[in-house]
Amino acid sequence: MWQAEVRVDLDAIEHNVRLLRSITRAAAPAGSDGAEVMAVVKGDGYGHGMLPAARAALRGGATWLGGCTVGEALRLRAAGITAPVLAWLMSPGVPLDPAVEARVDLTASSAEQLAEIVAAARRTGVPARLHLKLDTGLGRNGAPPSEWPALCEGAAKAQADGAVEVIGVWSHLACADEPDHPANDAQLQAFRDGLATAERCGLTPRYRHLANSAATLTRPDMHFDLVRTGIACYGLSPIPGLAVDLRPAMTVRARVALVKRVPAGQGVSYGHTYRTAKETTLALVPLGYADGVPRAASDRAPVRLGGANRLIAGRVCMDQIVLDCGDDPVAPGDVAVLFGPGDEGEPTADDWATAVDTINYEIVTRFGSARVPRVYSGQSAEPAEAAGSASHGSASVDQTAASAERAPHSAGGLA
């Protein structure tokens, strides 16, 4: 008998990716099959489990995966996934040889990063698969426009020397979740200018990619050759209120551990921020901030129990929350649903995001701790996944990939 679980519907992920692919096809000019889809599975698949989510996305028509870090990309390779995988966030000195040898696509946002990638390629004797990233206005990762020509020239020379193959040029949007924001058009123009610079340097990359989930859904002029879709793969919209047939994949639920009657004026949980207005029934739910429940959800976030949605009563604890159920009949073992797709009246991840003043991305990414197993459902779930063993059964793969990021420099060092 389970106590608490994160249920993930892999068929929903497959459906969402198939929908995204249909959107890029519909937006394509005549004679084109449309932009390919990269499913971003960083952050352990946005809390859904990287490996099951990646496999479901590939079944749905994704041809690329995005892993963010080298360790995430290597975890995908160690699991036998051969689809193209892009990594883009690398601090100086992170060992790159394993990624180059595993044919992981790496990103250079500076001349220094390019030098490290080239050095890894020369040590391994394997040309590195390279993407160049331009900062078109987000002000985060990517080469600033002032350094972009030199980065393109350096990449062109490295390609001519056989050290790299320039696969892509890309950038990332700052305000795509606001489709009418003027920054979107400004970044699109800056990206086009950057592509022109790359071409003048002799680079003709197969993949130009700019669109995230929001731009995939609302800006077909930003699709180019590849779209990078993250939150939409998991059934959540990056734009509140946008009508699109995405299916939320995650449900978080737990069985009530204890029920008791208490008098009016009873303080509940630490600090007594909540007191009962009358004699009532309290239900103890065994999920807390160690499991992913935001402490900011105290007295604010809804949970469905006994046919009604109820706000958490009092502060969220490390291991548990309390619900005030009034005179409704609830019993130990009843199922409390924190959030799900909303099909049966339960709160959604969007409801939780609104309650704690954050975004749906953060809500789902929080869940899936070591003591709350993920259980996978859907026709596309593999037997081990459906049994719930896949979420934490890949620890050895995780450790291998993580050790590659923590490993000391090789004798030759990194350039």
Q: Which active-site residues does the annotation give?
A: 42, 270
Taking the alpha carbons at both ends of the chain, their separation in whole angstroms is: 54
Complete DSSP assignment for 146-203: TTHHHHHHHHHHHHHTTSEEEEEEE---SSTTSTT-HHHHHHHHHHHHHHHHHHHTT-
- The whole-angstrom separation of Cα 65 and Cα 326 is 48
> CA angle 297-39-55, nearest 5°?
100
Q: What would the two tokens of residue 87 be?
A: 């990594």
Q: What are phi and psi of 66, to 5 degrees?
A: -115, 125
What's the sign of the alpha-carbon dihedral 44, 47, 52, 56?
negative
> CA angle 30-178-62, nearest 5°?
45
DSSP code at position 366: T
Residues 6+ apart with CB under 8 A from 200: none
- The whole-angstrom separation of Cα 269 and Cα 275 is 9
**Cross-strand bridge partners of residue 130:** 106, 166
Side chain identity at residue 118, one-letter code: V
- Pairing label, strands 105-108, 128-133: parallel
- Cβ–Cβ under 8 Å, residues 86 and 64: yes
* Residue 271, CB-side half-sphere exposure with 13 Å CA sphere: 9
- The whole-angstrom separation of Cα 46 and Cα 196 is 34
